[in-house]
Amino acid sequence: MSYGLRSFLPKNDMINILLLAVLIMVIFPLSMDIFRLNLVGKYLSYAFVALGLALCWGYGGILSLGQGVFFGLGGYCMAMFLKLEASSPENTAIQSTPGIPDFMDWNQLTALPWFWEPFHSLGFTMIAIIAVPVIFAFIVSVAMFKRRVGGVYFAIITQAIAAILTILIIGQQGYTGGVNGITDLRTLNGWDIRTDEAKYVLYFLCCTLLIGSVLLAQFVRKSKLGRLLVAMRDKEDRVRFSGYDVSNFKIFIFCLAAALSALGGAMFTLQVGFMSPSFVGIVPSIEMVIFCAVGGRLSLLGAVYGTLLVNWTKTVFSESFPELWLFGLGALFIGVVLAFPNGLAGVYSTYIEPRLSKWFKDLRSMRPPMASSTADTRS
Amino acid sequence: MLSKTLSSKLKKTALALSAGLFLTPTISHADAVNTTGLAVTDDTVTVGILHSVTGTMAISETGSVQAEKLAIEQINAMGGVLGRKIEYIQEDGASDWPTFAEKSKKLLVNDKVAAVFGCWTSASRKAALPVFEQYNGMLYYPTFYEGLEQSPNVIYTGQEATQQILEGLDWAAQTKGAKKYYLLGSDYIWPRTSNKIARKHIENVLKQKVVGEEYYPLGHTQFNSVINKIKLKKPDVVFISVVGGSNVAFYKQLKAAGIDMTKEKPLFLTISVTEDEILGIGGENIEGIYASMKYFQSLPNENNKKFVEAFKAKWGKDIVIGDVTQAAYLGPWLWKAAVEKAGSFDVDKVREASPGIELTTAPEGYVKIHKNHHLWSKTRIGLAQPDGQYKVVYESDELIEPDPFPEGYQ
Amino acid sequence: MFAEYTASELTSIFAMQGFAGLILFSVFVLMALGLAIIFGQMGVINMAHGEFMILGAYITYLTSNVFSEYAQPLFGGYFFVAMLLAFIATFALGALVEWAMIRHLYKRPLDTLLATWGLSLILQQLYRTVFGPREVGVTLPDWLMGSYPLSDMIEIPINGIFVMCITLVISVGVYLWMYRSRWGGQVRAVVQNREMAGAVGINTEKVDRITFALGCGIAGVAGSAFTMVGSTGPTSGQLYIVDTFLVVVFGGASSLLGTIASAFTISQAQSTMEFFLSGSMAKVLTLLVVVGILMLRPQGLFALKIRH
């Protein structure tokens, strides 16, 4: 047991994950007011997507430019439930058809569409948040990976799917809320999600889920599957000739990434209070890729830090120098790709970590022999 | 921080003392006009401006920012509001709807602004609205929009759909004898709602015919197919609510397809092209279309002449002023009037005072706040000139009542 | 649905609609040709393609201003000068970008996608800073506006004809350059086997640079031509990206003929559907069909039989 744990969570990784947990669950809440913390919560919901991208892009070599689709599907599932709850017949008494969401009423719908009906149930919604995007990801990836579509083609096709879904959502506004999205969400099973206390609770829920997702991703990475993925990314044919069905692994990892994105989308809806097509399209999808790239595509934690860093910079820049923001972001893209292909995590492991460990070693050698021997036995 | 609370306590004591001693209420004192802790001092009051300065919407929202700043400057020059200079905090919505919600919250909760002038697209307003309702802020929203909304926390200074549309259609039917209509728009909520209202009006009130209704995705640039359909259906009026870059493509292709808009066969009536949009389309490409809205830069009245002059003096002589820019300019003035009527900056009191507020100095002429928080205003029809301006050819006789939930049009 | 129209009306409408499809086809070819060269021949994904087009459009805008200011009598001919300048400017910028950025990334094609996306953001902001956030209006010479009436119903837009001619000229030019010139031979040699090409004395770096710059240059000319039909603003370029990539991928990336065939198929499908459906649904359906076909036939319409 202890061997199993150690093998998928080596000491270093465990410490790093703990550090992240302390940072987001202790330091941030203590040092920020609820307004800033809510912002961080929003960033962290993007981190789910970046985490999924680290798995499927960094380890699997599958670059998807359509992760916004899954983020959006997850978010919309959550939003549909919340909207139905906010549109109780009492709240919507002034409408010509009470009990349906306000935007449907404006679009002359007189009954709830069939695919909205199941979202009255919280249980179904919970399942749907993961299941809908995963099924969709499964269909897309089976069609593509079984025919050995990969690399650039996959990227462009996922991008086109993001475009299609955006146009569809905007065009079918009677069913989806159109370009305004689904807004004015209030309660979750009677619990008001707009209060400060609720924001705290949701923030910690988001953190817990994120750490859980990191552990899950870590497990996948260290498992045989993870090693196969890396092998596939680097020499797909060899893995195939060794008798593995490459496409199944790809499908699995893509679906996992989709599920993580969807979870992020649902957390986003809960914390921000609405969902709109502007998080589904091409631009947000590519931005999510850059979060992952800045953090380091080969590092799970890097993806989280990258997301935090880019979004934080964006907020700071757009508050102080709105005109410069795009220059900065563009330069960041180019700089990271050209100079630091492995992102922050790469910088850390090449430059900082060796020095840190040397420093620790020096520190240790300076200690009296007693202390050093305890340290040895501990490890 | 400590000294601030201390000084405010001292002030309170001083106020109580003075009131107790002389029994003369000093109304202008900060605490008396502000019982809810807004950012009001003895000589300043802080408001927020919240528009997109970056991103795709920056194109449209820049004019609104300029107008609001001009209005605030002019109000300050006249002595401010209740003797206090207006200071503003400007935030960037970055064309991103959650950012609008965040920044609204920042303005209301952290900065405690007395009012916010901002938002442009419906999506940004919808995102920010729950924040304004939760923290009881006041938003002055400038854009003409689809209606179907009436919040106690918003004053809508632009026209809602029926005000803009019905008068235009009546005019086309009466003066131009239009019988067949073709509805065309970008694919999102405002054009769809507008066309829905237009269709009901055409079919049920005017008893005429709609021969086509068509939507294209935002940003679409190829309109040859729809131009062919228009040629085939031969409508008398093409009613257009296409927005953004699509406009440029549509009118250029229309002209290239041999349709001379000045011949009015068919007649093109838009509710979405202001003077701002014509800059990008080019006056020569759009000459001869009609627009139905409440304000044109060329309106021949004294208020407007002064406004245009001041606007150009501040922002450059080549600048053009569209409908929304003027509506944004009304925001600070309407707020000032309501605050002075209420004698307080408190949001609840300002809200109570707002219905019935009149503005005789508005560039568009006289406006008045309805109890549904929209404005009574006139609707004008403008004919596009090659120099990029509209010539006003018609003006409604009366102020048109705003009706955000129009009976029979839903 | 056709019952209410006379036969002659229908004929002319089908003629007009066919013509609309042809214009769309030319637009697609112009958009995609530069990208097809860069993507197909070099494997580089240039997400800033739209921004290169808009650079061409802005150059046209500047040229038109200069002509109307200083050389009014020659205004009718400014468009040709503008297109030439647009080509030169985008070609130069393309060469610069290749030198500064792309050449470091040939081994990592997916990364070119990210880096060029970054470039596109920078260019967008640059346009916004220089030309302002609003769209600019490009004044066209009179002879380009208007139409030529064939019959009562059928009118041929002159700028449509003009776009078609440019497309034809550029396509033929690219064909000659790729398949009939020494340069083209070198490019194809490098695509097929970089090491061997280098070994027989081809300067592969130079070939890469010129190829990339040429792709960008064609984008510039396309952008210049699009001022006749579309809008010119800082973010207008983004509108073209999805369509352009789909055309290239659908055609089979490494085949220029494929690109043209796919542009034809997609444009005809879209313009036919636009006539029977609402514009939005036509767009969604077209994209769906293309994506669907690509899923069934990932190599595109025309694929070279080469081993990967």
pLDDT digits (tens, 9 = 90+) for A132-188: 999 999 999 998 888 777 777 888 889 889 989 998 898 888 899 888 889 889 899
Give the model confidence (pLDDT) of C109-163 as tens digits. 878 888 998 999 899 989 988 988 778 888 888 887 777 877 766 778 888 888 8
pLDDT of C254 reads 67
User: How many angstroms separate the CA atoms of A265 and A279, rounded?
Assistant: 9
- Across the interface, of B59, B215, B216, the residue whose CB is closest to C135 is B59
User: How many angstroms separate the CA atoms of A69 and A51, rounded?
Assistant: 16
pLDDT of A114 reads 93
pLDDT of B84 reads 94
pLDDT of A97 reads 83
Q: Name the nearest CA neighbour of A199 among A29, A80, A21.
A: A29
Q: Give C275 or B410, the one with higher predicted confidence.
A: C275
- Across the interface, of C17, C133, C233, the residue whose CB is closest to B62 is C133
Task: Tell me the angle at which helices C279-296 and A151-171 cross, rounded to the nearest 10 degrees.
Answer: 150
pLDDT of C214 reads 92
- Map chain A to HEC letters: CHHHHHHHCCHHHHHHHHHHHHHHHHHHHHHCCHHHHHHHHHHHHHHHHHHHHHHHHHHCCCCCCCHHHHHHHHHHHHHHHHHHHHCCCCCCCCCCCCCCCHHHHHCCCCCCCHHHHHHHCHHHHHHHHHHHHHHHHHHHHHHHHCCCCCHHHHHHHHHHHHHHHHHHHHHCHHHHCHHHCECCCCEECCEECCCHHHHHHHHHHHHHHHHHHHHHHHHHHHCHHHHHHHHHHHCHHHHHHCCCCHHHHHHHHHHHHHHHHHHHHHHHHHHHCCECHHHCCHHHHHHHHHHHHHHCCCCHHHHHHHHHHHHHHHHHHHHHCHHHHHHHHHHHHHHHHHHCCCHHHHHHHHHHHHHHHHHHHHHHHHCCHHHHHHHHHHC
Q: How many CB atoms lie within 10 A of CB A21?
A: 15
- Nearest-Cα distance to chain B for A286, in Å, is 15
Q: Name the nearest CA neighbour of B111 among B76, B139, B144, B87.
A: B87
pLDDT of A5 reads 66
- Is the link from the previous residue into B266 a cis peptide, with omega within 30 of 0? yes
Say how many Å lie between the first and final Cα of chain A, rounded.
17
How sure is the predictor about C249, in pLDDT bands with cuts at 50, 70 and 90? confident
Q: Is residue C278 domain-resident?
A: no
Q: Is residue C208 domain-resident?
A: yes
Share of chain A above pLDDT 90, in %: 41
- Across the interface, of B232, B248, B258, the residue whose CB is closest to C9 is B232
pLDDT of B64 reads 94
Locate the chain B residue with the closest alpha carbon to A35: B106
Interface check for C135 against chain B (CB to CB < 8 A): the answer is yes
Strand (E) positions, B134-266? Answer: 139-141, 154-156, 180-186, 209-216, 237-241
Q: Name the nearest CA neighbour of A161 among A93, A64, A292, A231.
A: A64
Give the residue carrying structure tokens 């449209």.
B60
How sure is the predictor about C17, in pLDDT bands with cuts at 50, 70 and 90? confident
Give the residue carrying structure tokens 């380890």.
A59
CB contact under 8 A, A173 and B91: no
Its ipTM equals 0.84
Q: Is residue C214 domain-resident?
A: yes
User: How many angstroms separate the CA atoms of C203 and C198, rounded?
Assistant: 6
What total number of domains does chain C contain?
1
H helix runs in C71-157, sequence order: 78-100, 109-131
User: Do B230 and B258 form a contact (C-beta atoms < 8 A)?
Assistant: no
How sure is the predictor about C4, in pLDDT bands with cuts at 50, 70 and 90? low
CATH architecture of B33-159+308-376: 3-Layer(aba) Sandwich (3.40)
HSE at residue C1, side-chain half, CA atoms within 13 A, is: 8
CB contact under 8 A, B98 and A325: no
Q: Which domain holds residue C217?
A: 21-237
Helix then strand then coil, % of chain B, to nearest 5: 45, 20, 35
User: Do C159 and C141 form a contact (C-beta atoms < 8 A)?
Assistant: no
- Nearest-Cα distance to chain A for C96, in Å, is 14
| Global pTM value | 0.86
- Across the interface, of B227, B232, B245, the residue whose CB is closest to C239 is B245
Residue B215: strand pairing partners? B185
Q: Which two tokens stand for residue C291?
A: 């994506």
pLDDT of B410 reads 67
- Is the model's pLDDT at A378 over the cut of 50? no
In which residue ranges of chain B is pLDDT below 70? Answer: 1-30, 410
Q: Is residue C125 domain-resident?
A: yes
pLDDT of A367 reads 60
For chain C, list the contacting chains (3+ Cβ pairs, <8 Å): A, B
Residue B180's SS3 state is strand
User: How many angstroms separate the CA atoms of C105 and A116, rounded?
Assistant: 47
CB contact under 8 A, B189 and A178: yes
User: How many angstroms separate the CA atoms of A165 and A156, rounded?
Assistant: 14
Element of type H or E holding C241 = helix C238-251
Q: Which chain A positions have a beta carbon within 8 Å of C113's beta carbon? A: 63, 65, 152, 155
Q: Name the nearest CA neighbour of C46 among C108, C104, C120, C103.
A: C120
Q: Which two tokens stand for residue B18?
A: 């003075």
Share of chain C above pLDDT 90, in %: 26
Residue A214's alpha-carbon distances to A5, A56, A208, A267, C159, in angstroms, are 15, 14, 10, 16, 57
Q: Which two tokens stand for residue A372?
A: 């050093």
Average pLDDT score over chain A: 87
Residue B92's SS3 state is strand
To test the contact with chain A by mutation, choose from B52, B188, B243 the residue with the greatest count of A C-beta atoms within 10 A, namely B188
- Amino acid of residue A120: H
Interface check for A153 against chain C (CB to CB < 8 A): the answer is yes
pLDDT of A12 reads 83
pLDDT of C170 reads 92
User: Do C29 and C251 form a contact (C-beta atoms < 8 A)?
Assistant: no
pLDDT of C187 reads 86
Q: How many CB atoms lie within 10 A of CB B353?
A: 19
Q: What is the strand order of the sheet B154-156 is part of?
A: B85-92, B44-51, B116-118, B139-141, B154-156
pLDDT of C253 reads 65
Displacement of CA C111 from its chain's centroid (Å): 22
pLDDT of B409 reads 77
Q: Which chain A positions have a beta carbon within 8 Å of B243's beta carbon? A: none
User: Do C17 and B228 form a contact (C-beta atoms < 8 A)?
Assistant: yes
pLDDT of C303 reads 60
Share of chain A above pLDDT 70, in %: 94
- Is the model's pLDDT at C307 over the cut of 80? no
CB contact under 8 A, B276 and C134: yes
Interface check for B200 against chain A (CB to CB < 8 A): the answer is no
Q: What is the mean pLDDT of residues C34-63?
A: 90
- Collect all residues with Cβ–Cβ distance below 8 Å to C176 and sequence separation of at least 6: C184
pLDDT of B18 reads 44
- Across the interface, of B62, B245, B279, the residue whose CB is closest to C236 is B245
Residue B394's SS3 state is strand
Contacts for A203-209: CB closer than 8 Å, 24+ residues apart: A203/A29, A203/A37, A203/A38, A203/A40, A203/A41, A203/A271, A204/A25, A204/A29, A205/A267, A205/A270, A206/A41, A206/A44, A206/A45, A206/A267, A206/A270, A206/A271, A207/A21, A207/A24, A207/A25, A207/A44, A208/A25, A209/A48, A209/A263, A209/A267
**Maximum distance among all Cα pairs of chain C, rounded to whole angstroms:** 70
User: How many angstroms separate the CA atoms of C261 and C272, rounded?
Assistant: 16
CATH architecture of B161-293+379-395: 3-Layer(aba) Sandwich (3.40)
How sure is the predictor about A303, in pLDDT bands with cuts at 50, 70 and 90? very high
Q: Is residue C66 domain-resident?
A: yes
Q: Is residue C127 domain-resident?
A: yes
- Is the model's pLDDT at C8 over the cut of 80? no
